[in-house]
Copies of this chain bind each other. A is one copy, B any other.
Amino acid sequence: MSGRREEILDAALAIADEHGVDAVSMRALADRVGVTPMALYRHVKDKAALLDGMVGRLLAALLPPEPRPDHTWEERLDALAHACRKVTQQHPWAAHLLFSRPAVTPDGLRAVDIIYTALIEAGVPEPEVPRLERLISTFVIGFAASEAAGRFAPGDLDPRGRRGLLPDSELPGHRALGPWLDLPLDLTAEFEADLADIRRMVEAAARPSR
């Protein structure tokens, strides 16, 4: 009702964006809101519940403002995927939380439903739809989380230096790929290519099963 809870959650989001999620302590949050730490507990059960509330707010931002039946299923799927990546780019700390909390919030459900309808429209047999939804969401969230956590971009060690950890003889694959490994990677282009591959996978699942 009061809107106080939302104020608090937004303050917490601001702290997380500015100083990282670890900086979100009850004391720091209370300071920011202008109250005593204990006052927060009137609006939030727990620290865990606080984090849940924070990702809840983000999930809402991930959804299209209104249903888009005028777009193709490919476009709707892409839009959702891009929205997901955008959210985790703006709030890197939140990426791994998307994995922990099952999508049981209303907004989470809506996101799942968008994928369901897209897959149905693509012609995927109904019994296969839930599995493919999980496959797709797992990959998209996984990509976003990997990017946010820096799994794809091993900071100080460039690919060449990284390979130095082991003799090339132990890494035949790396040796064979040679120069391709030294290219700078464009994660936006890569995400696009991945989504294209996934679209092809959906189309294959939709074909009369050969």
Contacts and interface: CB of A to CB of B under 8 A. Distances in A.
Interface of A: 96, 99-106, 109-110, 112-117, 120, 126-127, 129-131, 134-135, 138-139, 141-143, 145-146, 149-155, 157, 162-163, 165-166, 170-174, 176-177, 180-181, 185, 190, 193-194, 197, 200-201, 204-205
A97 B174 CA distance: 24
A190 B135 CA distance: 9
Contacts of A101: 151
Main secondary structure of the interface of A (DSSP, over half): helix
Contact of A99 (B127, B142, B157): B142
Contacts of A138: 139, 142-143, 146
Given A129-B180, A134-B152, A146-B138, A110 B166 contact: yes
